[in-house]
């Protein structure tokens, strides 16, 4: 390759090379979702016909699977549970993380670095390390088998993550702005709420998006702490309760998977850029 202006032909070749190589990845990433949707809309006779082409719907689209999900299962209860749990756990974690993140990023006091390290270590603790003792903690707290078991335990992974993310955003705000407010007679809390928070809105949006996504998607705790059908989350309800006996009803199973993923897909499409920046900031900053 020669430095400087490249010919038109070389540019087209390069673009073609790029597309040709990236398309397999796009196909690999999207195919399971495509297959999920198409399975949920197919009739059982076509689904279990070995001669049919699995990529297409040839005998007409049916909505029976969704009908079954809406009227014969507790699907909407699960969705409602998931929504309550995600919104509550995310809100609680956001408040705790704003306070801790600001303190760790901005204030100077003995031990601040050790606290920062503790938060970072907690961030790396996988939920699967602690689910057995936590299942006993929720029993002792008397909230076992209720949605409160999840509202109380989800902040254990949300708060470290959110604190970590917010610390990065708080550090980008110039210190002078806060000092001005303090000199003007604002209290420290007022400075945080009125001056710092409005400047950290992108970080807060990221925390809310990731908090909602992580709690909505969470599987291990939701499976472990809740066994009553009426208190399950959408992800666990679809995964555990739609499988009846030894027969898998793939149509309704895939319909449940599509619908329970839909809220996340909608938010994701809307806020794509925040997901990308939050992902990068959360892992790399600090």
Q: Which residues inside 111-130 make contact with other proteins, applying CB under 8 A? A: 112, 115, 117-122, 124-130
| Least distance from other proteins to the Cβ atom of residue 131, Å | 7
Q: Output the DSSP codes for 197-212.
A: HHHTHHHHHHHHHHHH
With CB under 8 A as the contact rule, the residue among 77, 144, 156, 229 that binds other proteins is: 156
Helix (H, G, I), strand (E, B) or coil at 57: coil
Given a contact cutoff of 8 angstroms between Cβ atoms, the answer to whether 256 and 242 are in contact is: yes
Given a contact cutoff of 8 angstroms between Cβ atoms, the answer to whether 160 and 123 are in contact is: yes
Measured CA distances, 163 to 11, 25, 51, 176 (Å): 45, 33, 54, 22
Residues 194-233: x where in contact with other proteins by CB under 8 A, - otherwise, as a string:
-------------------x--xx-xx--xx---------
When asked if residue 132 is in the footprint of other proteins (CB under 8 A), the reply is yes
Stretch that binds other proteins, among 63-71, 143-151, 152-160, 166-174 (CB under 8 A): 152-160
| Least distance from other proteins to the Cβ atom of residue 279, Å | 5
- Binders of other proteins among residues 251 to 270 (CB under 8 A) are 253-254, 256-257, 260-261, 264-265, 268-269
- Whole-angstrom distance, CA of residue 221 vs CA of residue 145: 11
With CB under 8 A as the contact rule, the residue among 75, 102, 161, 164 that binds other proteins is: 102
Residue 247 pairs with which residues in a beta bridge? 244
- A 10 A CB-CB count for 282 gives 18
Considering CB under 8 A, how many residues would be counted as binding other proteins? Answer: 103
């Amino acid at each position: 390759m020669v430095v400087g202006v490249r010919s038109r032909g070389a540019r087209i070749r390069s673009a073609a090379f790029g597309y040709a190589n990236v398309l397999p990845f796009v196909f690999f990433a999207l195919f399971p979702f495509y297959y999920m949707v198409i399975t949920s809309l197919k009739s059982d006779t076509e689904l279990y016909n070995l001669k049919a082409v699995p990529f297409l719907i040839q005998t007409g689209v049916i909505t029976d699977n969704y009908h079954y999900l809406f009227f014969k299962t507790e699907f909407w209860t699960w969705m409602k549970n998931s929504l309550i749990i995600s919104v509550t756990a995310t809100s609680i974690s956001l408040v705790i993380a704003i306070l801790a993140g600001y303190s760790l990023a901005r204030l100077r006091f003995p031990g601040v670095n050790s606290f920062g390290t503790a938060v970072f270590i907690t961030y790396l603790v996988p939920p699967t390390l602690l689910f057995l003792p936590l299942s006993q903690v929720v029993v002792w707290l008397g909230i076992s088998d209720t949605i409160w078991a999840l509202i109380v335990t989800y902040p254990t992974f949300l708060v470290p993550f959110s604190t970590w993310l917010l610390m990065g955003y708080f550090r980008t705000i110039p210190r002078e702005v806060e000092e001005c407010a303090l000199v003007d007679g604002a209290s420290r809390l007022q400075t945080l709420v009125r001056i710092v928070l409005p400047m950290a809105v992108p970080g807060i949006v990221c925390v809310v998006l990731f908090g909602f996504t992580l709690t909505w998607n969470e599987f291990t705790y939701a499976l472990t702490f809740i066994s009553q059908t009426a208190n399950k989350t959408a992800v666990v309800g679809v995964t555990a309760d739609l499988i009846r006996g030894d027969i898998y009803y793939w149509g309704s199973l895939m319909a449940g998977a599509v619908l329970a993923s839909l809220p996340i897909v909608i938010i994701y499409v809307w806020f794509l850029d925040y997901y990308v920046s939050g992902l990068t900031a959360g892992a790399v900053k600090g």
